[in-house]
């Protein structure tokens, strides 16, 4: 059963300016495994994290490093949830989070669907 959806769009030029002006922003927002990616990929991952917050229903207890974007064995993006984010997802009965990301025409976009077992309460 779908318990939440989220979408976010990031302007690539604006994101690049922000990262260039404040280099520590990359360290604050991204896990070590994400930091070496090109700026368009970082922007997509930032959009993914924002979309996940929307799918979870809010940012309470969310720390940026607790949300890591990784690839499955086929190269598809997915999340590794840690700490408070993992606890929030578990408390809401979320058993799987679907993620897709793209970047084109000056923007990065991510779409997230949170899914729970059928019949389980997922209220905040």
Write the DSSP symbol of residue 65. G
Nearest Cα to 115, choosing from 52, 50, 49, 45? 52
pTM (global) more than 0.85: yes
CA distance 22 to 4: 32
Map out the domains of the chain as residue ranges: 2-116
Q: What is the pLDDT of residue 33?
A: 94
- Residue 40 token pair: 């368009």
Q: What is the pLDDT of residue 123?
A: 53
Nearest Cα to 112, choosing from 65, 24, 62, 52? 52
CA distance 50 to 90: 19
Q: For each of the chain's 124 residues, which pLDDT tens digit applies?
A: 999 999 999 999 999 999 999 989 999 999 999 999 999 999 999 999 999 999 998 887 789 999 999 999 999 999 999 999 999 999 999 999 999 999 999 999 999 999 998 755 445 5
- Cα distances (Å, whole numbers) of residue 114 to 17, 42, 73: 31, 22, 20
What is the fold of 2-116? Answer: Ribosomal Protein L22; Chain A (3.90.470)
């Amino acid at each position: 059963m779908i318990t939440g959806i989220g979408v976010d769009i990031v302007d690539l030029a604006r994101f690049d300016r922000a990262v260039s002006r404040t280099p520590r922003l990359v360290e604050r927002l991204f896990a070590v495994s994400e930091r070496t990616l090109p700026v368009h990929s970082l922007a997509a991952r930032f959009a993914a994290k924002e979309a996940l917050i929307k799918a979870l229903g809010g940012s309470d207890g969310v720390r940026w490093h607790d949300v890591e974007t990784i690839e499955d064995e086929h190269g598809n993006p997915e999340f590794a949830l840690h700490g408070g984010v993992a606890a929030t997802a578990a408390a809401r009965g979320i058993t799987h989070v679907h993620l897709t990301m793209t970047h084109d025409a000056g923007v990065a976009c991510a779409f997230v669907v949170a899914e729970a077992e059928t019949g389980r309460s997922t209220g905040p």
